[in-house]
Amino acid sequence: MLNNKKIILGITGSIAAYKAAALLRLLIRDGAEAQVVMTPAAKEFIAPLSLSTLSRKAVVSEFFAGKDGTWNSHVDLGLWADAMLIAPATASTIGKMANGIADNMLVTTYLSCKAPVLLAPAMDLDMYAHPATQSNLQRIRSYGNIIIEPASGELASGLVGKGRMEEPEAIIAALKNHFAMRSALHGRKILVTAGPTFERIDPVRFVGNFSSGKMGFAIAEGCAERGAEVTLIAGPVSLRTSHPQIRRIDVESAREMHAAAMESFPSSDAAILCAAVADFRPATIAEEKIKREDSSEMILHLTPNPDIAASIGALKRSGQIVAGFALETSDGIAHASAKLKRKNFDFIALNPANELDAGFGVDTNRITIIDSNGICRAFPLKSKQEAAADIINELITRLP
Ligand code: PMT
């Protein structure tokens, strides 16, 4: 997993910095190429010479080399790496990372890094539990960075609690797991629907809903990051996609989304249907803008749209996995379970329609995954990227 991988090992000023030498040795043993970047404070805890000897590379710590003014390019480093691992990560560095305070080589490299970032916090238990640290960690998670939770045990202060940096073997296992997960969907084709559909009333009006597309786009990005070729069928949203493995098809109405999904699904390994599809559309579309003066009231006749999920569920072959969503205001589990059966889903993600921090529009979601055996797993409030990761993990365990 780590053979030939290029890893930036960021080390910050904590007593746990002494474990960085063991971590580095394990990286090299497993075939990785490691570049150490230290904060000035880290040098108080471990000598750069030990680390440059182990990594067989000069340690980077300053923006400029004192003697000849050579510039250390944080941008080049950020582009070079397959992953950045910051261990130990102090409360101070976590705060700088969360807020983009680039006053040392390590945080500048972090901000320039295009590769995944993992960090192993190390600090005293009260510092770790402080709301400021927790909110900084939450912020960092929302950037897609992975936190390797500290362990509980005896701390440098003599106190006992949560804050000890994980042992080097556990950190290496987390890094390997990360690379394994990143390639878990390699060669798979995944269809994702996202956003609302707009159903035209006349040339200027439509029937629609509040879906922003954020949840579906997070799923599409998450699948692509794990190596899948993704077909993202998106209703009218203002989001952008940049991942080269996402083929995006923009549609407006449920019928257009249905046609695109029917074309893509047969060659897909899985479908995750996150779009908020309008169940009904106006029976006729007025050719001219409807004028207020022409009548005292307006009655809209609606006709049912095709059910994309049910059509896909009916087409599903053995080995293909289909996951849906249920957006509910009440009796969520019962309604979601009924939808799962009716639409022949393998599992369904239930999310609330009446909570301010979940469901439509916002950046966070609270999902419960229900499978066809009726097993429910409720997840806490998370960023939509993290909720997407939970759904993708569920998919991975089910793909043949
Ligand atoms: O886009 P965001 O602002 O991030 O919000 C995300 C979300 C709340 C829209 C999303 O998480 C979500 O819940 N999507 C499904 C919303 C919905 O339409 O739920 P439903 O219970 O009406 O539909 C059940 C399932 O059938 C869904 O998988 C839906 O995509 C699918 N369906 C529904 C109707 C239809 N005609 N065709 C479908 O495929």
Nearest atom (ligand 1) to Cα of 275? 30
Domain 6-182: give its CATH superfamily: Flavin prenyltransferase-like (3.40.50.1950)
Other CB atoms within a 10 A radius of the CB of residue 354 amount to 11
Residues of the chain with CATH 3.40.50.10300: 189-398
Active-site residue among 4, 177, 209, 351? 209
Dist. CA 188 → ligand 1 center (Å): 23
- Measure the CA–CA gap between 166 and 148, rounded to whole angstroms: 7
Report which DSSP code applies to 166: P
Q: In terms of DSSP H, where are the helices of 143-210? A: 168-182
Could you read off the pLDDT of 167-199 as tens digits, one per residue?
999 999 999 999 988 889 999 999 999 999 999
d(CA 215, CA 384): 6
Identify residue 163 by its one-letter amino acid code: G
Q: Give the span between the Cα atoms of 179 and 1, in whole angstroms.
A: 7
Q: 189-398 has which CATH code? A: 3.40.50.10300
Res. 81 pLDDT band, cuts 50 70 90: very high
pLDDT, position 329: 95
**Which residues approach ligand 1 with their CB closer than 6 A?**
193, 195, 211-216, 254, 273-277, 279, 305, 307-309, 324-327, 339, 343, 351, 359-361
Q: At what angle do helices 254-264 and 308-315 cross, to 10 degrees?
A: 20
Sign of the C-alpha dihedral, residues 126, 131, 136, 142? positive
Residues 204-249 pLDDT 10s: 999 999 999 999 999 999 999 999 999 999 999 999 998 999 999 9
What are the phi and psi torsion angles at 126 (to 5°)? -70, -35
Return residue ranges of the chain for CATH 3.40.50.1950.
6-182
Catalytic, 209? Answer yes
Instruction: Give the C-alpha separation, 108 to 168, whole Å.
Output: 25
> Distance, CA 273 to ligand 1 centroid (Å)?
7
Residue 279 has a pLDDT of: 97
Residue with tokens 């909570």: 355
Confidence of residue 200 (pLDDT cuts 50, 70, 90): very high
194: β partners? 234
> What is the chain's length?
400
Instruction: Report the distance separating Cα 257 and Cα 197, nearest Å.
Output: 8
Q: What does the pLDDT look like over 119-155, one tens digit per residue? A: 999 999 999 999 999 999 999 988 889 999 999 988 8
Q: How many whole angstroms from 282 Cα to the centroid of ligand 1?
A: 19
Closest ligand 1 atom, residue 276 Cα: 18
User: Is there a cis peptide before residue 88, judged by omega within 30 degrees of 0?
Assistant: yes
Q: For atom 10 of ligand 1, which residue has the closest CA? A: 274
Distance CA 274, CA 195 (A): 7
